[in-house]
Amino acid sequence: MGGSTPTPTLMALLCLGLCRGPRDQVQAGTLPKPAIWADPGPVVPVGSPVTLWCQGSQQAQVYHLYKERVSGAVETERPHSSSDRVGFHREHTSAHDAGRYQCAYNSSSAASENSTSASSENSTSAFSERSDPLALVVTGAGTPPSLSAQPSPVVAAGGNVTLACSSQNVSGTFHLLKEGDSDPPRQRNSSFLQGRHQALFPVGPSSPSHGGTYICYHNSYLYPLMWSAPSAPLRLQVTGAYREPSLSAQPGPLVPSGHSLTLRCGSEASFGRFALTKDEGHMGPQRLDGQHSPDFPLGPVARTHGGQYRCYGGHNLSHMWSAPSAPLNILIAGMDTKPSLSAQPGPTVSPGEDVTLQCRSDARSDTFYLSKEGSPASPQRLRLQDTAAPSQALFTFRAVTSAHGGTYRCYSSHSASPFLLSHPSDPLRLQVSGPARPPGDYTMGNLIRLGVAAFLLLVLGVLLLEALHSHRRARDVAGGGPRGPTGGPMNFYDL
């Protein structure tokens, strides 16, 4: 540069965007390019503190902060000794602070604001080039949008979910952020759908890395770096990261109204958290609320407790869960008049015999349940096609053993309320006693049937012989008497 006068073109380039004074002339390539970033981040709620850091070189003596559309540096800072960075701090960020920032530094003290000599005004300074731009976003300008997950914020691994950010009154751009994620926010322009301005952000096929807490913002097109207040956080939870646990009910899955029961989520894995969900129609769970205990006490139970339940297990990461357990149906009894229970041929049977328990209801019912006292298994269930009253269901046990003995009760219900059952029937005690009937032994019914068959065979034989004799007598009359095999008179031995 050697004291020569800069050309108009060079001066225009130097003053493009943010103009520098005579002492801020650039010697390109002589100093490393600085870096700029915001702490705690580039998205700052209004009124919160933020620091813009500029990192250059240990030889830097003065750092300059520039803002888009503002002439000259908005701030200058001297670094501490042996430091290669400075911070431009704002204690209470306002909407005025939103904008794009760059920083630069110089290694000559001649550019110091404290220099007042005429020689310093004409000295040449070694300036770095400016950093890449940093967009500082200030949030809180306007009402927050809403954030929802479709179809559910609980998604199975490999499945798809859509996060919808919407606002009723404001069009513009929507921004989706994941807490703790270093990736820049996803952004989409709004569309007017279903009476609202909204943007849809597809997520999937989902993996455990997609789980976490999301928030969204919106801004008008006129002020792209002034965002609204944040939406309420939405926690996206991913299931299927671990093997499914089991779910059981104590004392059993069929419980009288007003009583208590405990659902237990058990697993071979060392889960530290457990979640219980109740299926609501065809929708998946809307959230998984974890607890440290695998036991979920319910009761005193009422109509609303009836339904289909599943449980999940998880470890430390709150957004990752196991696959769901097999469903468990909880049946609430005591909602209708009791049916009657009887045994055919009777409540006392011998081992190896068949017995049928008949459950009969005078109410309009299409589903019947048979339970056995003390059995952890779910009750037997029979569904009928005819719902007219009275109705009955037949529960048949083939070749009973001593294991079939016990006290039974039956219940009736209707498919319109599949988890709500009647009062229980009076108890019926089934006794299996006596010696086991050996193979090949027959019941009285079988003996009667065999006797009838033998009698019919005897009658048929008699009729056949009578027909044969009648035929021979007719032949003898027509031929002049009976003849033997040789054509002579028939004797006794020819019969």
Q: Three-state secondary structure along 340-369?
A: EEEEECCCEECCCCCEEEEEEECCCCCEEE
- Work out the pLDDT band at 26, boundaries 50, 70, 90: very low
CA 376, CA 265: separation in Å to the nearest integer?
15
- At a CB cut-off of 8 Å and minimum separation 6, what does 409 contact? 341, 370, 371, 373, 424, 425, 426, 427, 428
pTM: 0.69
Instruction: Please tell me the least confidently modeled range out of 104-108, 121-125, 176-180, 467-471.
Output: 121-125
pLDDT digits (tens, 9 = 90+) for 188-222: 999 988 888 999 999 989 999 999 999 999 999 99
Q: pLDDT at position 37, please?
A: 97
Q: pLDDT at position 141, please?
A: 87
- Work out the pLDDT band at 487, boundaries 50, 70, 90: low
- Average confidence (pLDDT) over 331-336: 94
Q: pLDDT at position 488, please?
A: 53
Q: Regarding the domain delimited by 243-333, which CATH topology (the fold level of the hierarchy) does it fall under? A: Immunoglobulin-like (2.60.40)
**For residue 476, pLDDT beyond 90:** no
Q: Of all residues in the chain, what percent carry a pLDDT higher than 90? A: 65
Q: Three-state DSSP class for 449?
A: helix
Give the CATH class of 340-432: mainly beta
CA 77, CA 300: separation in Å to the nearest integer?
68
Question: What letter would DSSP give residue 486?
Answer: T
Average pLDDT in the chain: 84
**Would the CA dihedral through 187, 191, 197, 200 be positive or negative?**
negative
Show the tokens assigned to 11: 């001066």
- How many residues are listed for the chain in this entry? 495
Q: Is the peptide bond before 345 cis (omega within 30 degrees of 0)?
A: yes
Q: pLDDT at position 454, please?
A: 76
Show the tokens assigned to 59: 């030889």
Q: What is the CA radius of gyration of the chain?
A: 45
- Work out the pLDDT band at 142, boundaries 50, 70, 90: confident
**For residue 146, pLDDT beyond 90:** yes
**For residue 21, pLDDT beyond 50:** no
Q: Of all residues in the chain, what percent carry a pLDDT higher than 70? A: 82
Domains of the chain, by residue range, sit at 18-136, 146-239, 243-333, 340-432
Between the ranges 17-26, 341-350, 458-467, where is the mean pLDDT highest? 341-350
Q: Which ranges of 176-296 does DSSP label H, i.e. alpha helix?
A: none
Q: Do domains 243-333 and 340-432 have the same CATH topology?
A: yes
**For residue 468, pLDDT beyond 80:** no
Strand segments, DSSP code E, in 220-288 are 226-227, 234-242, 246-250, 254-256, 261-266, 273-278
**For residue 295, pLDDT beyond 70:** yes
CATH of 18-136, picked from 2.60.40.10, 1.10.10.60, 3.40.190.10, 3.30.160.620, is: 2.60.40.10
pLDDT digits (tens, 9 = 90+) for 27-60: 445 789 999 999 999 999 999 999 999 999 998 9
pLDDT digits (tens, 9 = 90+) for 405-443: 999 999 999 999 999 999 999 999 999 987 766 554 545
Q: pLDDT at position 114, please?
A: 43
| Residue 347 main-chain phi, psi, to 5 deg | -80, -5
Q: pLDDT at position 122, please?
A: 45
Q: pLDDT at position 74, please?
A: 96
The CATH architecture assigned to 146-239 reads Sandwich (2.60)
